[in-house]
Structure 1
């Protein structure tokens, strides 16, 4: 962990950290809401397209929409799926002044409660360490938001747009090819 000096605890620092956390929470909630909307739209699309698979004019387009809806559901689900955190016991000996690296559950799930309590007390006893843990939490939250949620959400939207476009194109081609005369 970096040891940049923070002169002293100040209300401005606490306010900035709280505001940053709130903004990250809002962005995460917005991403989750969009993923849920995409899942609902895709489930609706799946229900409709399954009934049109045997239609002579819409069958191919329905198949394309089926693939689009299925891939959109997969990507949207991946964006909201939590990561499984396994609590593997950490056998390394902790120093007397050891602190938490982050306030994320994955940072302390490997410890028993007594060890966690000691680490938390050591962290909270020094404002410098407390701020470092908060910085790490903001960084970790941002990385998860960008590298996981937003990435898979983007793939979901791309799948929806490309699938819809190809379905429209497929209907147009089917109409042209099957046009009598």
Structure 2
């Protein structure tokens, strides 16, 4: 079922962040949301995930189990990469399967705690964690930020390959990312 968003309004105090946003996110498709900073993209994701409540408007068709990559990596710093991913996986997923996903995007040191990783390595762990999560829908908020071009291309290919036939909502500032991901696009303005 497609997700339908109608007339979403959200304010924080006097600041109107979303002013009547409407849109459709197609089931089993990747949809990219683009727009200038401050137009409400992250707020919209937080509303869709149930982290924030809208002031007005309706949402229908929302799957029950979200997975996410936030703007911050939100990893357990003292855990290794496999343990960070395992926390959100379905029971029975083998460590070797998780390791193969991490290794496919260049994470090879699987025993050290992630606090010893670079920012780009942590980002990739967060992406694998979302992809392998036991979820019905994925929300990815600027998932490729902080990655160099070669790594970004590798990780974008990984995301496309591993989200086929899944519903994915991805926030980006990059038209190049939209083109590489071959996704539906929703363009948000200064005020929605």
Q: TM-score interval w.r.t. the shorter chain?
A: under 0.3
Give the TM-score normalised by the residue count of structure 2. 0.21
TM-score (norm 1): 0.22
- Higher strand content, 1 or 2: 2
- Greater Rg over alpha carbons, structure: 1
